[in-house]
Amino acid sequence: MMYTHILADAMTAIMAGVAGKILGWNWLESVMGIVGAILYTRLLELRV
């Protein structure tokens, strides 16, 4: 389970970083990290 969290976090950071640089939105990576954490928490709640 931890592997999926690490993979999702890495992919979110990469995509948000690239999009932030292209669009000039430097805050996008932080926001997407929070969104990713919320989505992952919801996924864990569904599996319990």
Span 17-26, pLDDT tens digits: 888 888 888 8
20 within 8 A of 28, measured Cβ to Cβ: yes
Percent of the chain with pLDDT over 70: 94
Burial status of residue 15 (CB atoms within 10 A of its CB: 0-12, 13-18, 19 or more): middle
pLDDT of residue 40: 79
C-alpha to C-alpha distances, 17 to 2, 20, 40, nearest whole angstrom = 22, 5, 19
pTM of the model: 0.55
Helix/strand/coil (H, E, C) string of 6-21? HHHHHHHHHHHHHHHH
Give the residue carrying structure tokens 């932030």: 20
